[in-house]
Amino acid sequence: MSDTLDICYLDEIIIEGTTIEGKKFRPSDWVDRLCCILADFHEKKFAYSPYLRPMVFKDTQCVAVKRQLADNNPKVFEYIMQFANDNKLVVTDCANFITKAKSA
């Protein structure tokens, strides 16, 4: 549990690679595809945006979304959240998750 708390930050929302029915989401490269929306390729180096990052959370491939994205690029934020909703993916608010985990 502490490992999970260490990688889940208060200012993030986690889109998990699991549907609300408990099934693994496919295709398997969905995390890379989603994170590449804002990625940068400069001087032969690839870099993810500070607003989206791939991660493993609860033993599942996930995407961490910084809340600041909603203010800085609302259309992309809306697209990402709609993607999660359309595909019935589990979405975890890290602030709530951490608060509940620490009080348990």
Q: Where does the pLDDT of residue 96 fall: very low under 50, low under 70, confident under 90, or very high at 90 and above?
A: confident
User: CA 72 to CA 69: how far, in whole Å?
Assistant: 5
**Per-residue model confidence as pLDDT tens digits over 23-39:** 999 999 999 999 999 99
User: CA 54 to CA 48: how far, in whole Å?
Assistant: 9
- Predicted structure pTM score: 0.84
Domain that holds residue 55: 2-103
Residues 6+ apart with CB under 8 A from 45: none
Residue 27 is classified by DSSP as S
Total domains, the chain: 1
Identify the burial level of 21 via C-beta atoms within 10 angstroms of its C-beta, where 0-12 means exposed, 13-18 middle and 19 or more buried. exposed
Whichever domain contains 65, its CATH number is: 3.30.70.2340
Distances (CA, A) of 30 to 27, 37, 92, 99, 104: 6, 11, 17, 29, 33
CA atoms within 13 A on the CB side of 48: 15
Residue 98: per-residue pLDDT: 62
Question: To the nearest whole percent, how much of the chain has pLDDT over 90?
Answer: 66
**Per-residue model confidence as pLDDT tens digits over 42-73:** 888 888 899 999 999 888 999 999 999 999 99
